Structure 1
Amino acid sequence: MDPIGASCFNLQIEENARANLDENDRKNEQLAEIICSVRSLSKYEGRSFRTLCPQIAAAAIAASYHIVVGIALAYSAILIPSISNETSTDGEIYATKTESSWIASTIVIVTPIGGITGGFIMDSYGRLNTLKLAVIPSVIGWIVIAMAQNVPMLIIGRMLTGIATSWGSSPAIVYITEIARVDMRGSLISFGPAYASLGMVLAFLKGWFLHWRTVAWMSLGYSVIPLILISFIIPESPAWLVSKGRVEEASKSLKWIHRNQPQPEHRTESLAELQLQLLQKEHQLKLEEESKKGNGFWTKAKLFLRPTGYKPLIILFGLFVFQQFSGIYITLFYSVTFLKETGSTVNPYLASILIGTVRCIMSCVNTYMLRTFHRRPLIMLSGVGMACCMLLSGFFTMWINNGTSTQKWVPTCLLLLYVITSMIGLLPIPWTMTAELFPIEIRGIAHSIAYSIANIVMFVSIQTFYSLEDLVGGIVGVQWFFAVVALMGSLYTFIFLPETHGKKLSEITNYFVNSSAIYLLSRNKNKTSQNKKPASRVPNKNIVKSNKQSEKLINDI
């Protein structure tokens, strides 16, 4: 799981799905009624900072657990150097390379379990209650790590914190999506990845000066403080409350969220009351749609036997293999160890702090890039840039080890450039495509499957780092291996990956139905199918003219 990629860049799915208004005429007349409701609410919303304050506060508090998520992800980088046989500073625990790889990768392998169970809990008991429950495995996990007397205790602690990261991240993003004003949704969700990057920086900074047990004890505070803030300050998601028939509580929640909104002109109801009416309409529409469609397991399973199911799943699997084995997450989980082995004279903890800071900055920059540029060129440019950085870093590492170069700062600079180029495309975009490539009928299930596959591949890549190092002859060979894989990822993208930027859901679906799995051989046909419109299809005027806010709301439905 990548808190920056999975949390922040899944926002782009919404931006690409805005254009999907022609699907089934978007529920025809019932949606037209809701569109009108959205328009009327939109014009009543105040646009001042004061009116946004409750939503900003709610988003900042709900996403605050991401800090400890970032700490958990980066923790192996400061733990492993302290307990390895060669450089151990701990008098009790010593870990072999195999044990160290398990310590680093365990947090990833339990992420799909946490995601699936967290999804059920979130739908059954609420978004904020799931965030509160995340504190339990987090606190227990960090205590086990802090008091660990052997490697199995460290692994168990990492497993618990891994489950907690899933329970504490996804519900926060869903909650913010449901309470945020439409035009501010992307900005408010960015609290999540920003907090996660901050957590990584804090982990590296503390690891530089403090013992790893002290860092674990301090992480308890980052787990408990969000619980207190969530419990006493912000209300539950009104959309979830309405879905459970708790209308009175939903009304109170909306009044809190919109308490600074002005009274709508020429209306007797407040904005909160109008919003409640709209949520009730949406919920009724969902119930009607569910009653018409078959939602059984086998009905969904059969859809994966269609080209729109298995083709994107195979393409994504290949893309995640190249993403993970190009070293993106290996250099995060083993950052301190990796930097030491390159021969750089820059303090590895300081360099790790810089890497975390760069990831944070680039996550914000990339939000703009993904909205502006096409997916395929970004991934190909990213892969080529990563390959160049790792290739040069490998050469400089070899020259430093041979004593033919004294420029020991160069590998660290190249690693920073490698992180920047990875954030351009190969790191974030595959996570966004886990939902972009699938039709709406199986999008939720397919996203979960693709997400689980990605984490399994990540587990394998992190787990096999030391074996890879032995296989290719040391850290120089590892860097060249990363360079080759990144370059192959660009080539794979050029040949197989379809473009989704600015495409309607129907266009993506038609591509997989009518085209070859090889994108290069299907490009002309794909363009033709995109430009061809059925003559008998007459778009609903109300829908075509709807503004962006109503489009986004309908996509959420």
Structure 2
Amino acid sequence: MSFRDETEDLSKPFLHTGSWYRMGSRQSSAMSSSAQFLRDGSISVVLCVLIVALGPIQFGFTCGYSSPTQAEIVKDLKLSVSEFSLFGSLSNVGAMVGAIASGQIAEYIGRKGSLMIAAIPNIIGWLAISFATDSSFLYMGRLLEGFGVGIISYTVPVYIAEISPQNMRGSLGSVNQLAVTIGIMLAYLLGLFVNWRVLAILGILPCTVLIPALFFIPESPRWLAKMGMTEDFEASLQVLRGFGTDISIEVNEIKRSVASTGKRTTIRFSDLKRKRYWFPLTIGIGLLVLQQLSGINGVLFYSSNIFTSAGVSSSNVATLGLGIIQVIATGITTWLVDKAGRRLLLIVSSSGMTLSLVLVAIAFYLEGVVSEDSHLYSMFGILSLVGLVMLVISCSLGIGAIPWLIMSEILPVNIKGLAGSIATFANWLTSFVVTMTANLLLSWNSGGTFTIYALVSAFTVVFVTLWVPETKGRTLEEIQGSFR
């Protein structure tokens, strides 16, 4: 059997999503009820995005889980601060492994197949945490969750970018981060009412729904074209654009792009030295690393403790408020990104984060030199709370969502698997360092910690201004061709 035959056989279980999937425009008279509903291409694409968004909701739930549960888990299992910090950061270790595998998995069995694979360790991981009697089960569950999240974090933005029409790609791509923030908010909200074991059981739900739902959406047409599955590629694109839409121009653009990059050429690390490859990869890695070095995940993972340190009595309620604000701000970004453009939002976002982090740092510095009985102490606590709210809003306006969107847009199709894995791995490696050190740094000096994060955010403004291209309103083929 040839390599192509093996790949196609492996892909088949993940390609066919219902009787309507393989229908071309010539068969429109025999459309099933599902196809009738999906006659409008925009409805079809939105439906697909909402289904795969269950993956990022799982991602966000994993990120948010450690904040409302820290006190209970530490008490019940008698963990130290460093042991809980290890638990919080182990999802990043698992995600690094998942990130390394994600690109190759997504290339060989498709975007949908990758998401199905990612869902299984997530489910097992949550069960392990829920029934944990000691730290070993906690750690194992967190690693398994992280592995699934690592695959999800690469695959979902790539799938959304590859199925979306160019005029909707920014908004739909931002749904990925919106879903992450919804997952975080749900973890904060449910954590107010249920204990940590029940909360872990609830974490199973997104992936439990995702697995069967994936059978009812089409595979990425660009992946199908790359794999040489012409009929499936055109059928998938027709479903996504609507059965009454002429897709011939887009079909030809995708075919030319695949032909020019060489759909089955083996890409090695040495090939990444060419500018058409290293430049977009450098931008992708730079944005994803700077996103984490700003400290936002450290803030979200340990927000309850930060609020307690700031003198806020109802820290879990304040954390929930932070989660709600994050969802609203990310929703605004979803609406803005195709209007204002990626670069402008990134510059505004990173500038706002810099100012917010400086404000929080000043508040903690001043809080340290006044008595806890002084009315100034409570004022500085409020000031740090305002700064954290501004930080979350600023991050949600750009840095939270857009790096993943740009990564999925700028990487050429023939290196997307390898380069996407590298960029995703870099993101999770940095996230591991930040979440592992955040609790320890905050214990050392809260003001100094936020000063470090502020310097990184200031550098992000410079990085975006000098090197990040605008991708609004351009097809993926146009964007990737501009690096040649």
TM-score bracket relative to the smaller structure? 0.7 to 0.9
- Give the conservation status (yes or no) of the 8 Å contact 1:111–1:455: yes
CA change 1:222–1:286 in 2 (3 A) is same
For 2:43 and 2:293, how far apart are their aligned partners in 1?
43
1:350 is matched with which residue?
317
**Equivalence map 1:127-526=2 (5 Å):** 127-231=111-215, 233-261=216-244, 271-272=246-247, 276=251, 279-287=254-262, 297=268, 299-300=270-271, 316=286, 320=289, 324=292, 327-345=295-313, 347-366=314-333, 367=337, 371=342, 373=344, 379-396=350-367, 399=370, 401-404=372-375, 405-407=377-379, 409-423=382-396, 448-470=421-443, 472=444, 477-478=445-446, 480-489=447-456, 492=459, 499-500=466-467
For 2:146 and 2:117, how far apart are their aligned partners in 1?
14
CA change 1:461–1:202 in 2 (3 A) is same
Per-residue deviation at 1:252? 3.5
Report Cα offsets for 1:188-238 as digits up to 9, x if no partner: 22221111111111100010110111111112121110111112x212222
1:79 aligns with 2:60: no
Per-residue deviation at 1:140? 0.7
Instruction: Find the residue that maps to 2:317 and give its secondary structure.
Output: helix
For 1:352 and 1:240, how far apart are their aligned partners in 2?
40
CA change 1:429–1:135 in 2 (3 A) is closer
For 1:329 and 1:240, how far apart are their aligned partners in 2?
32
Mean Cα deviation higher: 327-336 or 400-409: 400-409
Select the residue among 469, 478, 481 that pairs with 1:554: 478
Select the residue among 51, 56, 59 that pairs with 1:61: 51
Q: Tell me the percent identity.
A: 24
Per-residue deviation at 1:71? 0.3
- Any unmatched runs of 5+ in structure 2? 1-37
Report Cα offsets for 1:260-292 as digits up to 9, x if no partner: 525xxxxxxxx256655554444333328x77x
Report Cα offsets for 1:320-358 as digits up to 9, x if no partner: 57x65654221111112222232212x222212221222
2:92 is matched with which residue?
108
Q: Which residue type is aligned with residue 245 of structure 1?
A: G
Q: Which residue type is aligned with residue 109 of structure 2?
A: Y
**TM-score (norm. length: structure 1):** 0.68
- Give the conservation status (yes or no) of the 8 Å contact 1:434–1:451: no
CA change 1:197–1:211 in 2 (3 A) is same
For 2:167 and 2:402, how far apart are their aligned partners in 1?
22
CA change 1:485–1:56 in 2 (3 A) is same
For 1:358 and 1:333, how far apart are their aligned partners in 2?
16
For 1:51 and 1:497, how far apart are their aligned partners in 2?
34
Report Cα offsets for 1:167-200 as digits up to 9, x if no partner: 2232222222222222111222222111111111
Q: What is the count of residue pairs matched by the alignment? A: 438
1:541 is matched with which residue?
none
2:13 is matched with which residue?
none
For 1:401 and 1:122, how far apart are their aligned partners in 2?
54
Mean Cα deviation higher: 66-75 or 486-495: 486-495
- Give the conservation status (yes or no) of the 8 Å contact 1:384–1:490: no
CA change 1:117–1:361 in 2 (3 A) is same
For 2:56 and 2:151, how far apart are their aligned partners in 1?
10
For 2:101 and 2:311, how far apart are their aligned partners in 1?
43
CA change 1:210–1:226 in 2 (3 A) is same
Per-residue deviation at 1:419? 2.2
Per-residue deviation at 1:421? 3.7
- Give the conservation status (yes or no) of the 8 Å contact 2:350–2:394: no
Q: Which residue type is aligned with residue 60 of structure 1?
A: L
Q: Which residue type is aligned with residue 449 of structure 2?
A: F
CA change 1:155–1:482 in 2 (3 A) is same
Q: Which residue type is aligned with residue 328 of structure 2?
A: I
Q: Which residue type is aligned with residue 217 of structure 1?
A: I
1:519 is matched with which residue?
none
For 1:126 and 1:380, how far apart are their aligned partners in 2?
38
**TM-score (norm. length: structure 2):** 0.77
For 2:450 and 2:252, how far apart are their aligned partners in 1?
55
Per-residue deviation at 1:164? 0.8
Q: Which residue type is aligned with residue 158 of structure 1?
A: R
CA change 1:490–1:192 in 2 (3 A) is closer
Instruction: Find the residue that maps to 1:181 and give its secondary structure.
Output: coil
- Give the conservation status (yes or no) of the 8 Å contact 1:193–1:360: no
For 1:258 and 1:433, how far apart are their aligned partners in 2?
22
For 1:461 and 1:186, how far apart are their aligned partners in 2?
28
Mean Cα deviation higher: 324-333 or 96-105: 324-333
Q: CA RMSD in A?
A: 4.0
For 2:371 and 2:423, how far apart are their aligned partners in 1?
41
The structure whose Rg is larger is: 1
CA change 1:211–1:158 in 2 (3 A) is same
- Give the conservation status (yes or no) of the 8 Å contact 1:375–1:425: yes
CA change 1:77–1:496 in 2 (3 A) is closer
For 2:309 and 2:146, how far apart are their aligned partners in 1?
27
For 1:211 and 1:177, how far apart are their aligned partners in 2?
38
- Give the conservation status (yes or no) of the 8 Å contact 1:173–1:189: yes
CA change 1:173–1:481 in 2 (3 A) is same
- Give the conservation status (yes or no) of the 8 Å contact 2:92–2:429: yes
- Give the conservation status (yes or no) of the 8 Å contact 1:316–1:434: no
Per-residue deviation at 1:154? 0.6
- Give the conservation status (yes or no) of the 8 Å contact 2:103–2:416: no
Mean Cα deviation higher: 152-161 or 379-388: 379-388
Instruction: Find the residue that maps to 2:167 and give its secondary structure.
Output: helix
- Give the conservation status (yes or no) of the 8 Å contact 1:106–1:162: yes
For 2:411 and 2:480, how far apart are their aligned partners in 1?
16
